[in-house]
């Protein structure tokens, strides 16, 4: 089991992203999380390629890109060129998930699969050993700063068990409502990567909050 913190830029200051990226460069976070929203898969629009490229140019962290978009296959190569190193698609948005994951991996990126809160673990059983990471959404995707859905803890435990049974080494990532109050329980349940937006960027001392989450 690994412990990685991936701060979500959705809660960063887009008027001065470099300052937040420099702060993260000095922090214990290994990854940086970029939320891409298209206004169709989720009821919100975030940012696209010019911003991703600007982040790539400044950050020293692993570029963890979370696609909340329909038809992600159309853009896999462009996200790779923009600097994505981990590329996560939603199972609900992929008709041919197996092919999409193969495509992501063939371009040299790590392939992640995200599950909305209502989506059962069984929907990804057949790709247990193909995906490099599974993302359990612990809020309904679209916005930062939402309340953690408690059922997610049990879902992580069940996912962990399924992956163990299948002999998969895939990482488990959790995204939404993560903070100092639930980080320990999430790691204990089997999470490897914690995404945190609001908790990190609204903290008085974001670097200290990242340490707190890591050592929870």
DSSP string, 115-163: E-TTS-GGGGGGGTTT-SEEEEESS-TT-SSPPP-THHHHHHHHHHHHH
175 counts as binding ligand DX5 under rule CB under 6 A: yes
Torsion 74-110-171-199 (CA) sign: negative
d(CA 87, CA 90): 10
Q: Which stretch binds Zn ion (CB under 5 A): 24-32, 58-66, 96-104, 143-151?
A: 58-66
Residue 166 beta carbon to ligand DX5: minimum distance, rounded to whole angstroms: 26
Q: Which of 20, 35, 38, 132 binds Zn ion (CB under 5 A)?
A: 35
Nearer to Zn ion, 52 or 166 (CB): 52
Q: Is 175 a catalytic residue?
A: yes
64 counts as binding Zn ion under rule CB under 5 A: no
48 binding partner (options ligand DX5, Zn ion, none; Cβ < 5 to 8 Å by kind):
none
d(CA 179, CA 118): 22
Q: Which of 20, 32, 64, 66 binds ligand DX5 (CB under 6 A)?
A: 66
Residue 37 beta carbon to ligand DX5: minimum distance, rounded to whole angstroms: 7
- Three-state secondary-structure class, residue 94: coil
80 binding partner (options Zn ion, ligand DX5, none; Cβ < 5 to 8 Å by kind):
none
d(CA 55, CA 84): 10
């Amino acid at each position: 089991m690994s412990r990685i913190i991936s701060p979500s830029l959705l809660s960063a200051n887009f008027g001065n992203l470099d300052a937040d990226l420099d702060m993260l460069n000095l922090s214990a976070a290994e990854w940086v999380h970029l939320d891409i929203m298209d206004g169709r898969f989720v009821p919100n629009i975030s940012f696209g390629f010019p911003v991703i490229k600007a982040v790539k140019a400044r950050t020293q962290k692993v570029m963890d890109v979370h696609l909340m978009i329909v038809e992600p296959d159309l853009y896999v190569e462009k996200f790779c060129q923009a600097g994505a190193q981990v590329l996560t698609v939603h199972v609900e948005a992929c008709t041919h998930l197996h092919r999409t994951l193969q495509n992501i991996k063939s371009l040299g990126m790590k392939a992640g699969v995200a599950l909305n809160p209502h989506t059962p673990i069984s929907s990804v059983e057949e790709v247990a050993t193909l995906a490099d990471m599974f993302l359990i959404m612990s809020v309904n995707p679209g916005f930062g700063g939402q309340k953690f859905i408690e059922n997610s803890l049990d879902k992580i435990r069940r996912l962990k068990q399924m992956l163990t049974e299948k002999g998969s080494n895939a990482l488990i990532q959790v995204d939404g409502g993560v903070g100092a109050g639930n980080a320990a329980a999430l790691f204990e349940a089997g999470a490897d990567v914690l995404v945190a937006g609001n908790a990190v960027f609204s903290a008085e001392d974001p670097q200290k909050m990242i340490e707190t989450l890591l050592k929870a």
